[in-house]
Amino acid sequence: MKLSKFFKDNWVITLFSTMFGVIAGLYLTDYYNNSQLNEAKQNALSMVMQEINNNKAELIVYDSICRKMYERSSYVFSKLNNDQEIFIHKDSTKLFEEKSDGIIEDLKFEKYLKHKDTVRVRGEMNMFVGSKLALLDLNDVIWQSYKQTNYIDITGFDCITGLEEVYQFQRKNNSVNKDWLNQLMHGAFLQGDQQLNEFMLLWSRALGSNETLINAYSATEVIFENCN
């Protein structure tokens, strides 16, 4: 049978056209559905990125407050004697005010009769002054929701593992800072030198964790490049 004669048969042409139409329709439908899914995935990833950026902004503010408080508190604690009192030279009062910078409410300097060049520091230490430390709660709601969708099936492995690692750092950071805040609110660190040292060590760990997480947030731009 010649090829030219083969294509002269109308039923062959009709069958070929029908099959081509069905296949093309299926391809276009699949392409359209995949295109929709990819578009929805990109929108969802944008929300994850926004969540991370919001967390980063919140953590930077929180960490800045923590570091200032750490410096001021370290200075004040270094002046405490065994009786939890502070005595300084009468000419050092201005320096003490600057270094403590408001974390001691109703700050006063009393004359100390035993040593005419010495004054006793009076006041109530309040490390929550001007801060919102107890409100830190870095979110992972959007990321957890993303992992429950169909988008996860068309998301690159490097993207998923990279973002999950960032959120693991975040969960650890939340835990460390929560432990530190609990100790701060209960005030047990003022019961003795050992408690104070443990508290300051935990505080230092929390600051280190903050720095690690901020750096991890800053690296997410590269991670998101692998999410397309």
Residue 144 lies in a domain: yes
Looking at the domain assignment, is residue 60 inside a domain? yes
Residue range 103-159, pLDDT digits in tens: 888 999 998 878 889 999 999 888 765 565 656 789 999 999 999 988 888 899 999
- Looking at residue 133, its pLDDT comes to 63
Quote the domain boundaries for residue 212: 45-80+131-225
**Alpha helices for 122-156 (secondary structure H):** 141-146
User: Is position 38 within any domain?
Assistant: no
Report whether pLDDT(211) > 90.
Answer: yes
Judge whether 146 lies within some domain.
yes
> Which residues have C-beta within 8 Å of that of residue 63, sequence separation ≥ 6?
207, 210, 211, 214
For residue 196, is it within any domain?
A: yes
Long-range contacts of 91-100 (CB under 8 A, 24+ apart): 91/117, 93/119, 96/121, 99/72, 99/75, 100/72, 100/75, 100/76
Radius of gyration of the chain (CA): 32
Q: Is residue 48 over pLDDT 80? A: yes
SS3 107: strand
Q: For residue 13, is pLDDT > 60?
A: no
Residue 23 pLDDT class (50, 70, 90 cuts): very low
For the segment 63-103, what is each residue's pLDDT rounded down to a tens digit?
998 998 899 999 999 998 888 889 999 999 999 999 998 88
Token reading at 1 = 């049978």
The verdict on residue 171 lying in a domain is yes
Instruction: Confirm whether 2 is domain-assigned.
Output: no
- The CA–CA distances, whole Å, from 128 to 65, 87, 104, 122, 195 equal 10, 24, 10, 18, 19
> Angle at Cα 177 formed by Cα 86 and Cα 80, nearest 5°?
10
Q: How many whole angstroms separate alpha carbon 144 and alpha carbon 53? A: 16
Give how many domains the chain has, as a whole number. Answer: 1
Residue located via tokens 């929390």:
206
**The dihedral sign for the CA sequence 168, 170, 171, 173:** positive
Contacts 24+ apart (CB under 8 A), 182-188: 184/127, 184/133, 185/134
Instruction: Judge whether 49 lies within some domain.
Output: yes
